[in-house]
Structures are given as C-alpha cells and as structure tokens.
Structure 1
Amino acid sequence: MHHFPPRLLQGYRNFATTQFQNERQRYRQLAAEGQKPEILMIACCDSRAAPELIFDSTPGEMFVVRNVANQVPPFHPDGEYHATSSALEYAVQSLKVKHIVVLGHGRCGGIRAALDMESKPLSSDDFIGRWMGLLRPAVEAVTTNALMTRHERQTALERISLRYSLNNLRTFPWIARREAAGKLQLHAAWFDISFGELWLLDKDSGEFNLFSPEESL
C-alpha cells in the first residue's frame, strides 16, 4: 500500500484525464525534440505564487527556477554547490533563452525573515539566514527608516531585492555578453497575491508600473 499524498494522486488523475489528453501531441513533441523555452523564470518557492499559473504557460514554454525569495546570487565559482547558478548556466548557455524574468511577490516569507532582525534561526545551520544575507545592505537601509510601516518595509525590500537580482545576473560574464549583444533581455516583475496585480519594472525609469490586463501587448 502506498502512502503518497492522496491530494497529489487526485491532482495527477485530473491532469492525466484532462490536460494531458488535450495536449498529448504537445507532450510527445517535447519528448522527441527536447525543450526550447525562450524564457527563464526565477521565482520564489512560495506556494501562492506559482509562475506557471500566473502567466498561464503551457508545457515547454518556461524554464523555471524557484528558491527562497527568488534571489540570484552574484557570480562566484568555487567548490560549493550552486543550484540557481547552475540553472542559469544551463538556460543561457545550452537552451539559449532570450529572456530572464525575476518574479517577486507580496507577503514573501523570506523577505519577512530578512527584515525580522530578532528572529531566531530555524536550525543551527541557518541556511535561510545565510541565503537572505545577500540582501543585508538593503535590509539595513530599510529597517533604519523609522517613517515606514512594517508593511511598507516589506514591500520595499521585495522590490529592491529584484533590482539586486538583476544586478547580480549581470555579474555572470556569459549573461552580460549575451545581453550586450542583444541576444538576451533581463526583466523583473512583482506579483501582488492579495489583488492578483502584476507590476513590471520599467528599464528606463527604474519604477515599478502596474500592468493592466486590458493594455494592448
């Protein structure tokens, strides 16, 4: 007798009898020809902000990387393990994606943990604390602003972290080269879980602007 979560088995049953049946040819084509996504999506692990649902993507359309607080570390080859960096390497060097999108979201637990300077690590290893340490300079700047509310600090750091990730992406030499050659574009977006809003970072102004579903594409 298996002990696999029943909810997942029911979900698979729904997938197998509906979506897979409707897109059987698409899956067979992907299996035979391999994946050729044009978009690399770097998103958070948060179960409320699944990029495939937010952007209504189809199989093979996006190469998705998810980590705590959708962060991109700077280029730092060494003897350690680098899950996000290895995914970047594969997507850019092998798949030749044309777009990298860093997707942040509201009410991010990782960002909240970074802002809570008095919180205790979940374990003595403190993997989360070290990972969120990538944002330490921004955290210090935001937390010392006495005029901001807790919610304002949270939203501010969620968006600032996206700018940090874009800057860190450009420290990877093969990303910088492809962007300079016009073969790769970098983007950032912030999703508001409460209202379903999508805010896009304007490359010229540096501002986050609300995208309306009614806007022409």
Structure 2
Amino acid sequence: MIRIPANRICMSAFPEQLLNGYRSFMSGRYAHETNRYRELARSGQSPETLIVACCDSRAAPETIFDAGPGELFVVRNVANLVPPYSPDGEYHSTSAALEFAVQSLKVKNIVVMGHGRCGGIRAALSPVAEPLSPGDFIGKWMSLVAPAAEDVSKNTMLTAAERQTALERISIRFSIANLRTFPCVSILEKKERLTLHGAWFDISTGELWIMNPETGDFERPEAE
C-alpha cells in the first residue's frame, strides 16, 4: 500500500485558491514590503484606528482604505454591531477587541463602518424568517437592533431597499451610542484623546459615505 505523507494530505485539502493567493502575496506585496513586516514583527503593532466592520466578504476595510500592514486594527462581526457595555462574565469578542484597541494599543480613532446589502440587516428586517440553526445565533445577535428594525419596517412609504439602507445607517449610529457606554471610550472621548466616526460603504458603486458627527447625516467626502 502506498502511503501519502501527512503534510501532503493537509496541503491537498487546503483550498487551492488560498495557496495561489499566498504565493502571489509572497512574490508581490511581501517582497515589496519585507522590511515593513520585519519591523512590525520586532516592534509590534501601533495602529491609530480601530474599525468595527461587517464580516461580509465584499466589504473588507483593509481593501477599501488601501491600508498597509499594521495600519488598521479591525474587528469584524455580523452587521458591524457594537453591543452595550456588559461586564457579566460571559464571552464578548467584540468588546474584548475594543478593550484591547483602546486600552493597550491606545488607538485615536474608532470607525463603525456599515455597508449596503448587508445580510445581517436584512435578517433584522425579516424576523419571521426561519433560523439558520437551532442556536439562532444571528437572530439573537441582530436582536440588538430589533426596536429600530421594527420602527423602520412600519414605514410603508419606503421601498424594501430604502428600508434596508435606512437601518444599515441607523445601526451605525446605534453602535456609536453603545461605544459610549464603555467607560474607557467615554472617558477618553471627553478628554479628546479618542474620536468616534461612522461610515457606510456602497458595494455596488464603491461610494463611501461619512457620518456627520453633528447631525448624524451621511455625506459624501469632498472630491479632491
């Protein structure tokens, strides 16, 4: 019987697309930024911005903002939500990442970035849909914005697409409000050592909309 080495079995099971991407990375970006990667390995990371983004594969912050290695600290979850401060002894991955970014990395900016056609927001607007599993983790997570989703759903003057866009943007304001329930965030913001931002990315057009901190409106940045 022919024996296949264990490492060869693992390699054949690994997605070929990822291997090809890695090879391209090593011969391209890594080759051009080797010194940068080695310096990051020696000195550690010191990004100035934390981005809370959706885990949707179409809305990667590092790609949208053309960021290099070590420039952004990114936490991604379904619908880019920030839960309220809740030190209850349970497991809180987003809160843990926020804590690390603010307390250890001492970021200067936090950006909550939503995007168009978000599946999580669509699920929040369709609470009668069947859960994807008995655990209904998405349903539980999206219940964070259930009151806003209910209000938006009642507006029959809006189309389904308009309701979705509205809730995508409302949820960004909601997450920013929840950020301020974290003592480490609210204290530093009052001391003007930390700034909170909202942004919304349109996948179909590539447009980026920035939330006006005074009015809450989403506006296009001025073209240079």
TM-score range, shorter chain: over 0.9
For the pair 1:196 / 2:195, whether they are aligned, the reply is no
Q: For residues 1-217 of structure 1, what are the structure 2 equivalents within 5 Å?
A: 1=8, 2=11, 3-212=13-222, 214-215=223-224
C-alpha separation in 2, matches of 1:96 and 1:32: 19
- Contact conserved, 1:46 with 1:108, CA < 8 A, in 2? yes
* Stretches (4+) displaced over 6 A: none
- Which secondary structure does the structure 2 equivalent of 1:57 belong to? coil
User: What amino acid maps onto 1:69 in structure 2?
Assistant: A
- Which secondary structure does the structure 1 equivalent of 2:152 belong to? helix
- Contact conserved, 2:52 with 2:113, CA < 8 A, in 1? yes
- Contact conserved, 2:53 with 2:75, CA < 8 A, in 1? yes
Tell me, which stretches of 5 or more residues in structure 2 are unaligned? 1-7
TM-score (norm 1): 0.97
Alpha-carbon deviation of 1:205? 1.9
C-alpha separation in 2, matches of 1:134 and 1:163: 13
Alpha-carbon deviation of 1:63? 0.3
C-alpha separation in 2, matches of 1:70 and 1:189: 11
- Contact conserved, 1:37 with 1:63, CA < 8 A, in 2? yes
User: What amino acid maps onto 2:68 in structure 1?
Assistant: T
Listed one character per residue, the Cα deviations across residues 60-99 of structure 1 (whole Å, up to 9, x for unaligned) are 0000000000000000011210000000000000000000
- Contact conserved, 2:127 with 2:139, CA < 8 A, in 1? no
User: What amino acid maps onto 1:104 in structure 2?
Assistant: G
C-alpha separation in 2, matches of 1:137 and 1:51: 28
Alpha-carbon deviation of 1:208? 0.4
- Aligned CA RMSD, in angstroms, stands at 0.7
User: What amino acid maps onto 2:125 in structure 1?
Assistant: L
- Contact conserved, 1:197 with 1:211, CA < 8 A, in 2? no
Count residues in correspondence. Answer: 214
Tell me, which stretches of 5 or more residues in structure 1 are unaligned? none
Q: What is the percent sequence identity of the aligned residues?
A: 61
Alpha-carbon deviation of 1:210? 1.3
